[in-house]
Structure 1
Amino acid sequence: MAPKFKDGETVASFNGKWISYSHTVVAYAAFLGALIVGCYLHYHKIVQNEYYGYPDEWFPSVSATIGDRYPERSVFMVFIAITSGPRFALVALWYVLTRRPNSTLPKFIAAVGIFRTLTCGGWTYVTSTDDHDWHDIFMISYLVATLPWTLGCLALSPRNATALKYRKIFAGAFFGTLVPLIYFFIQHKVHHVAGAYTTYAFFEWSLVLLDVAFDAVTVVEFENFEIVVKDVRGISRGNKAADAVLEKQKNKEVGQVFAGGFSWPGFFDALADVYNGFAFWSMLTSLGLLVWYFPLWHMGISGYEVMVMCTVSPFLLGIKPLRYLIVSNIRICHLLSLAGSLSFLAKSPENRLFSAGFGVWMACLSWAATFFAERSQPHRLEARISAFSIGLLASSIAKFAFWTNNPVWPIMHGPNGGWNKVGFVLAFLAIIRSTRYTASSGADLPPPGPTKGSSTLAGLGLAGLFFAMHSLLSDSSTMILWVWEGFPVRGPLAVPHGAYTLIAMGLGLCIGLFAPGFARSWAFYGIGSIGAAVLTTYSHWFGYYGALTVAIYTMAIAPPFISNAIRHNPAGTFGLGFLVYNFLVLAHVWVVAYAFVPGGPLMREHTDWVMTATMLFIGCGVFSATSQQTATPTIKKYKDKVSPAANKQRSYYLYILFGLELLAVSIAYLRFPSYNYTPYHPEEKAVTAGIWTIHFSLDNDMWSSERRMRDVIQELELDVVGLLESDLQRIIMGNRDTTQFLAEDLGMYVDYGPGPNKHTWGSALLSKFPIVNSTHHLLPSPVGELAPAIHATLDMYGEMVDVFVFHSGQEEDPEDRRLQSEYLAGLMRETPRPAILLSYLVTKPLEGNYNTYVGEKSGMRDVDPSDWDRWCEYILYKGLKRTGYARVSRSTITDTEIQVGKFVVGQPEGTNDFISEDQVAPGLRFPALFRGEGVRGHRYHVFDEPRYFA
Structure 2
Amino acid sequence: MTARYKDKDAGTVVLSFGGQWVSWSHTIFAYLAFLSALIVGSSLHYHKIVQNEWYGFPDEWFPSVSATIGDRYPERSMFMIFIAITSGPRFALVGLWYLLTARPGRSLPKLVAGAGLIRTLTCGGWTYITSTDDHDWHDILMISYLVFTIPWTAGCIALSPPNAKAIKYRKYLAAGFFGTLVPLVYFFIQHKVHRVPGAYTIYAFFEWSLILLDVGFDAVTALDFDTFEVVVRDVKGASKGHAEPSSVSAAVLEKEKEKTMAGVFSAGFRLADALDIAADVYHGFVFWSILTSLGVVVWYFPLWHMGISGFEVLVMSTVAPALLGIKSLRPKLVKNQRRIHLLSLAGLAAYLVENTVCRLFAVGFGVGATCLGWAITLSLDSAQPARLEARVVAWVVGLLMSSVAKFAWYTNNPIWPIMHAANGGWNGTGLVLGVLAALRFTRRAPLQGGSPAAEKNGSALLSAFGIGGLFFGLHSLLSDTSTMILWVWDGYPIRGPVSNIHGWYTIAAMTVGVVIGVSKPGLVTTWTAFGVGSVGAALLTLYSEWFGYYGGLTLTVYLMAISVPLISSAAKKSPAVSLGLGFLIYNFVVLFHVWVVAYAFVPGGPLVREHTDWIMITMMLLIGAGVFDLISQQAKPAYKKADQRPVNTHHRKYHLGALGLLNLLFLCASFLRFPTNDYKPYHAEDRLLTAGIWTIHFSLDNDMWSSEYRMRDLIKELEIDVVGLLESDLQRIIMGNRDTTQFLAEDLGMYVDYGPGPNKHTWGAALLSKFPILNSTHHLLPSPVGELAPAIHATLDVYGTLVDVFVFHSGQEEDPEDRRLQSEYLSKLMGSSPRPSILLSYLVTDPLKGNYNTYVSDVSGMHDVDETDDDRWCEYILFKGLRRTGYARVSRSTITDTELQVAKFVVPATDKDRAATWAAPKKLRDRRVNEEQVPRGWRFPGMFKGEGVRGHQYHVFEEPRYFKF
- Whether 1:181 and 2:184 are equivalent positions in the alignment is yes
Deviations 1:320-348 (A, max 9, x none): 23111111111111111111111111111
1:712 corresponds to which of 708, 714, 728: 714
Counterpart-to-counterpart distance in 2, 1:560 and 1:258: 25
Counterpart-to-counterpart distance in 2, 1:252 and 1:394: 43
* Pairing of 1:402-801 with structure 2 (within 5 A): 402-439=409-446, 445-446=451-452, 451-631=456-636, 638=643, 641-642=646-647, 646-801=648-803
Counterpart-to-counterpart distance in 2, 1:231 and 1:397: 47
Q: Which region of structure 1 is more displaced relative to structure 2, 710-719 or 146-155?
A: 146-155
The answer for the alignment partner of 1:935 in structure 2 is: 949
The answer for the alignment partner of 1:286 in structure 2 is: 293
The answer for the alignment partner of 1:145 in structure 2 is: 148
The answer for the alignment partner of 2:3 in structure 1 is: none
Identify if the C-alpha distance between structure 1 residues 281 and 181 changes in structure 2 by more than 3 Å, giving closer, same or farther.
same
1:925 corresponds to which of 911, 915, 939: 939
Answer whether contact 2:166 2:224 (CA < 8 A) is retained: no
Scaled by the length of structure 2, the TM-score of the pair is 0.90
Superposed displacement of residue 10, structure 1 = 5.3
Give the match's secondary structure for 1:896: coil
Identify if the C-alpha distance between structure 1 residues 152 and 795 changes in structure 2 by more than 3 Å, giving closer, same or farther.
farther
Counterpart-to-counterpart distance in 2, 1:632 and 1:402: 49
Counterpart-to-counterpart distance in 1, 2:955 and 2:238: 85
1:275 corresponds to which of 257, 269, 282: 282
Answer whether contact 1:12 1:230 (CA < 8 A) is retained: no
Question: Which amino acid in structure 1 is aligned with residue 213 of structure 2?
Answer: L
Counterpart-to-counterpart distance in 1, 2:302 and 2:450: 43
Counterpart-to-counterpart distance in 1, 2:828 and 2:694: 24
Superposed displacement of residue 202, structure 1 = 3.3
Deviations 1:918-937 (A, max 9, x none): 12111111111111111111
The answer for the alignment partner of 2:894 in structure 1 is: 892
The answer for the alignment partner of 2:257 in structure 1 is: none
Give the match's secondary structure for 2:446: coil
Counterpart-to-counterpart distance in 2, 1:628 and 1:480: 37
Counterpart-to-counterpart distance in 1, 2:632 and 2:238: 59
Counterpart-to-counterpart distance in 1, 2:140 and 2:675: 16
The answer for the alignment partner of 1:948 in structure 2 is: 962
Superposed displacement of residue 158, structure 1 = 7.3
The answer for the alignment partner of 1:393 in structure 2 is: 400
Superposed displacement of residue 230, structure 1 = 7.0
Give the match's secondary structure for 1:948: strand
Superposed displacement of residue 901, structure 1 = 0.9
Counterpart-to-counterpart distance in 1, 2:761 and 2:741: 18
Identify if the C-alpha distance between structure 1 residues 577 and 323 changes in structure 2 by more than 3 Å, giving closer, same or farther.
same
Counterpart-to-counterpart distance in 2, 1:252 and 1:490: 59
Superposed displacement of residue 175, structure 1 = 4.1
Deviations 1:99-145 (A, max 9, x none): 79998766655544333222212222344566554432221121233
Structure 1 gaps of 5+ residues are: 233-246
Question: Which amino acid in structure 2 is aligned with residue 433 of structure 1?
Answer: R
Counterpart-to-counterpart distance in 1, 2:624 and 2:698: 34
- Whether 1:852 and 2:858 are equivalent positions in the alignment is no
Counterpart-to-counterpart distance in 2, 1:535 and 1:844: 41
The answer for the alignment partner of 2:67 in structure 1 is: 64
The answer for the alignment partner of 2:206 in structure 1 is: 203
The answer for the alignment partner of 1:914 in structure 2 is: 928
1:32 corresponds to which of 35, 39, 54: 35
Give the match's secondary structure for 1:691: strand
Question: Which amino acid in structure 2 is aligned with residue 937 of structure 1?
Answer: G
Counterpart-to-counterpart distance in 2, 1:231 and 1:292: 70
Answer whether contact 2:412 2:738 (CA < 8 A) is retained: yes
Q: Which region of structure 1 is more displaced relative to structure 2, 886-895 or 186-195?
A: 186-195
Give the match's secondary structure for 1:595: coil
Q: Which region of structure 1 is more displaced relative to structure 2, 426-435 or 690-699?
A: 426-435
Deviations 1:435-476 (A, max 9, x none): 1123169x992469x631111000110101111111111111
How many aligned residue pairs are there? 924
Counterpart-to-counterpart distance in 1, 2:406 and 2:233: 59
Identify if the C-alpha distance between structure 1 residues 622 and 101 changes in structure 2 by more than 3 Å, giving closer, same or farther.
farther
Counterpart-to-counterpart distance in 1, 2:761 and 2:706: 23
Superposed displacement of residue 771, structure 1 = 1.2
Superposed displacement of residue 840, structure 1 = 0.8
Give the match's secondary structure for 1:66: helix
Answer whether contact 1:829 1:859 (CA < 8 A) is retained: yes
Answer whether contact 2:101 2:239 (CA < 8 A) is retained: no
Question: Which amino acid in structure 1 is aligned with residue 646 of structure 2?
Answer: K
Counterpart-to-counterpart distance in 1, 2:122 and 2:402: 28
- Give the fraction of aligned pairs with identical amino acids, expressed as a percent: 67
Answer whether contact 1:496 1:672 (CA < 8 A) is retained: yes
Give the match's secondary structure for 2:847: coil
Identify if the C-alpha distance between structure 1 residues 444 and 303 changes in structure 2 by more than 3 Å, giving closer, same or farther.
farther
Superposed displacement of residue 614, structure 1 = 0.6
Give the match's secondary structure for 1:458: helix
Counterpart-to-counterpart distance in 2, 1:872 and 1:259: 66
The answer for the alignment partner of 2:315 in structure 1 is: 308
User: RMSD value over aligned CA atoms?
Assistant: 2.9
Q: Which region of structure 1 is more displaced relative to structure 2, 897-906 or 816-825?
A: 816-825
Answer whether contact 2:49 2:71 (CA < 8 A) is retained: no
Counterpart-to-counterpart distance in 1, 2:818 and 2:366: 43
The answer for the alignment partner of 1:363 in structure 2 is: 370
Counterpart-to-counterpart distance in 1, 2:730 and 2:642: 47
Question: Which amino acid in structure 2 is aligned with residue 949 of structure 1?
Answer: F
Identify if the C-alpha distance between structure 1 residues 390 and 249 changes in structure 2 by more than 3 Å, giving closer, same or farther.
closer
Deviations 1:257-299 (A, max 9, x none): 9996211122112111111111111110000100000110111
Counterpart-to-counterpart distance in 1, 2:29 and 2:638: 57
Counterpart-to-counterpart distance in 1, 2:200 and 2:372: 55
Answer whether contact 1:11 1:230 (CA < 8 A) is retained: no
Deviations 1:46-83 (A, max 9, x none): 44433445565454322223226554433222222222
Question: Which amino acid in structure 1 is aligned with residue 795 of structure 2?
Answer: T
Answer whether contact 2:107 2:270 (CA < 8 A) is retained: no
Counterpart-to-counterpart distance in 2, 1:207 and 1:297: 55
Question: Which amino acid in structure 2 is aligned with residue 859 of structure 1?
Answer: G
Identify if the C-alpha distance between structure 1 residues 924 and 39 changes in structure 2 by more than 3 Å, giving closer, same or farther.
farther
Give the match's secondary structure for 2:511: helix
* Pairing of 1:328-347 with structure 2 (within 5 A): 328-347=335-354
Give the match's secondary structure for 2:850: coil
Identify if the C-alpha distance between structure 1 residues 534 and 109 changes in structure 2 by more than 3 Å, giving closer, same or farther.
farther
Answer whether contact 2:103 2:240 (CA < 8 A) is retained: no
Q: Which region of structure 1 is more displaced relative to structure 2, 543-552 or 465-474?
A: 543-552
Give the match's secondary structure for 1:741: helix
Structure 2 gaps of 5+ residues are: 1-7, 244-263
Give the match's secondary structure for 2:848: coil
Identify if the C-alpha distance between structure 1 residues 6 and 882 changes in structure 2 by more than 3 Å, giving closer, same or farther.
farther
Superposed displacement of residue 88, structure 1 = 3.5
Question: Which amino acid in structure 2 is aligned with residue 616 of structure 1?
Answer: L
Give the match's secondary structure for 2:872: coil
Deviations 1:373-413 (A, max 9, x none): 11111111111112211111111111111111111111111
Superposed displacement of residue 689, structure 1 = 0.5
Give the match's secondary structure for 2:415: coil
